[in-house]
Amino acid sequence: MKIAPSLLSCDFSKMGEELIRMDNSGADWMHLDVMDGHFVPNITFGAPVIKTVRKYTNKPFDVHLMISDPFKYAYDFIDAGADIITFHVECDSDINATIDKIKGKNVKVGLVIKPNTPASAVFPYLSKLDLVLVMTVEPGFGGQSFMSYMLPKVKEIKDECKKIGIDCLPVEVDGGIGENTIKQAYNAGVDICVAGTAVFKADDAGKAIADLKALCR
């Protein structure tokens, strides 16, 4: 299981140091939650901030765009150093055009589904994607409770991949992951878990990540 700490729960006054701390704590990917106050009822940070902190780690930047028009801003996030860009299938942009725009720059791309969106919403795009992100909370805020009833979507996505001949498309989950929930995600076949509160609010982030990983067997 890969663990992607969500910087949404970090101390924003020292984001660079927080990235170094996560790097030293065994984080696999750095998850960066971009919110525009329109697609979700919260505002975080944008491409200029990501660009500024890119130099603090070599770990992949997993940029989760909770914005209404990812097509319009895709190049800004690529230029800022995103390695993986995920955007919502519920957004206002043309989905195929946005996927093509990101892939055209050799950046990995994933689609995200909110809790009320069925897994089948991403089926038409699976052959073009590098991963799918299944939200296990309503996007917008950290520290919410895990919606375990989202997990059957993971199998639905993996089954559809098999059906159409795609080998092991990774599935990521985001929201409410911690010591009490990660095993369920692991059992459901999840490959990457985002964890904000569980990692950043722990006394020892390295131990928190190691403990989360140890629960996945």
Q: Which residues bind ligand DX5 (CB under 6 A)?
A: 6, 8-9, 31, 33, 64, 137, 139-140, 142-144, 174-177, 194-198
**Binding Zn ion by CB under 5 A: which of 1, 4, 64, 65?**
64
Q: Quick check: 93 and 72 in contact, CB under 8 A?
A: yes
Q: Is 204 a catalytic residue?
A: no
Work out whether 62 is an interface residue with Zn ion (CB under 5 A): no
Work out whether 172 is an interface residue with Zn ion (CB under 5 A): no
* Residue closer to Zn ion (CB basis): 107 or 134: 134
Q: Lay out the site mask for Zn ion across 66-105 (x = CB under 5 A, - = otherwise).
A: ----------------------------------------
Residue whose CB is nearest to ligand DX5 in the complex, by number: 196
Q: How far apart are CA 96 and CA 214, in angstroms?
A: 38
* Residue closer to Zn ion (CB basis): 18 or 33: 33
Q: Is 92 a catalytic residue?
A: no
Work out whether 174 is an interface residue with Zn ion (CB under 5 A): yes
Which sequence positions are flagged as catalytic? 33, 174
